[in-house]
Structure 1
Amino acid sequence: MQDMIFDNNQVLAVGSEPFLSRFDLNGKILSRMPCAPQSAFSVSLHPSGVTAIGGYGGLVDVISQVRSHYCTFRCSRT
């Protein structure tokens, strides 16, 4: 795991696999959602329920409150 945050009584975590993992507080995996970065470095949850996942290759995935994929951004140097 590279990063994790609490979301009510659950934990959202990202790391060396291309997934956003959701755990209960006892460590049981509740779900795993695929994400674009092959290795994710950070996860952020906005109060509106939107989740952003940043990782390898300058990719940022945006996921909705109902766990559907909104879009993927590629950050690049200019």
Structure 2
Amino acid sequence: FDDLTEHEEFAAQERLQKLHGQAVIGSMDIVTPMSQSELICTKWGKGDLKVIDGSGHMVILEEPEQISQALDEVIAEVSPRLS
């Protein structure tokens, strides 16, 4: 567990800095601390932090509609607008 809480893997940082996206976490997540998610977004550069209020670590299962909206936001940002 200590390895997971102190894990720092920034090998993808250079690649991620070229991409827009979102790091989505639950406000009640006790597995991935908010500080770690904030650090990821800082290192990412073009990644926004989206916090789903009241959700835990399994936010993708707990709030699928909000995950879909986050995906829609990222796709809209990187896709050319349709006329």
Whether these two folds match at TM > 0.5 is: no
Higher relative CO (Cα under 8 Å, sequence separation at least 6) belongs to 2
Instruction: Point out the structure with the larger helix share.
Output: 2
Larger Rg: 2
> What TM-score do the two structures reach when normalised by structure 1?
0.29
